[in-house]
């Protein structure tokens, strides 16, 4: 059985919308064995905005600061990645030990550098996920100009 290359998988988020009412898109990174390695902490409203955001994050990956925390959004250890002190990626699950969180963060960084983003084919349905379970409590919506404008929480805007 051969493994696929790592890839970015777009997700339509249910239960959240931007200030303009547009539906939100999120993303997750899948490894070659289809396991989720991490998720974006930001949302956009179009596939083109998301593709631009992911490309910018990949190019600036060496500038990212990876941190680890215990029990902030989920029970156990989790990791997060910040660009210019703004959290942009996070682990998809909690780990019992900090070293497991560190190992997963390293796997994410290695795979994200090589990951491909493929836009969904016309006529196919994009996977859906509830915004409250997909994103951490604080997530950001990226504007078409590339700035971060709206902080969205599971309970609404902040």
- 49-53: Cβ within 8 A, 24+ apart: 49/25, 49/142, 49/144, 50/10, 50/25, 50/117, 51/117, 51/119, 52/146, 53/142, 53/146
Domain 7-157 belongs in CATH node 2.30.29.80: yes
- 18, 24, 59, 110, 130 from 134: Cα distances, Å: 16, 12, 24, 22, 6
pLDDT tens, 30-87? 988 889 999 998 888 888 899 999 999 999 988 889 999 887 556 789 999 998 888 8
Specify which of 1-5, 74-78, 136-140 reaches the highest per-range mean pLDDT.
74-78
pLDDT tens, 106-118? 999 999 999 988 7
Average pLDDT, the chain: 78
Model pLDDT, residue 14: 77
């Amino acid at each position: 059985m051969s493994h696929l290359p790592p890839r970015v998988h777009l997700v339509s988020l249910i239960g959240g919308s931007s200030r303009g009412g547009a539906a939100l898109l999120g993303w997750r990174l899948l490894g070659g064995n289809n396991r989720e390695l991490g998720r974006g902490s930001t949302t956009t409203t179009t596939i083109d905005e998301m593709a631009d955001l992911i490309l910018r994050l990949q190019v600036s990956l060496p500038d990212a600061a990876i941190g680890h925390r215990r029990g902030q959004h989920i029970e156990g250890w989790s990791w997060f990645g910040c660009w210019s002190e703004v959290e942009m990626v996070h682990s998809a699950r909690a780990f019992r030990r900090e070293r497991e969180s560190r190992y997963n963060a390293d796997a994410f960084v290695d795979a994200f550098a090589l990951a491909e983003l493929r836009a969904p084919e016309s006529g196919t349905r994009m996977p859906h996920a509830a915004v409250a379970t997909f994103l951490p409590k604080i997530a950001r919506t990226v504007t078409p100009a590339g700035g971060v404008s709206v902080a969205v929480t599971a309970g609404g805007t902040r």
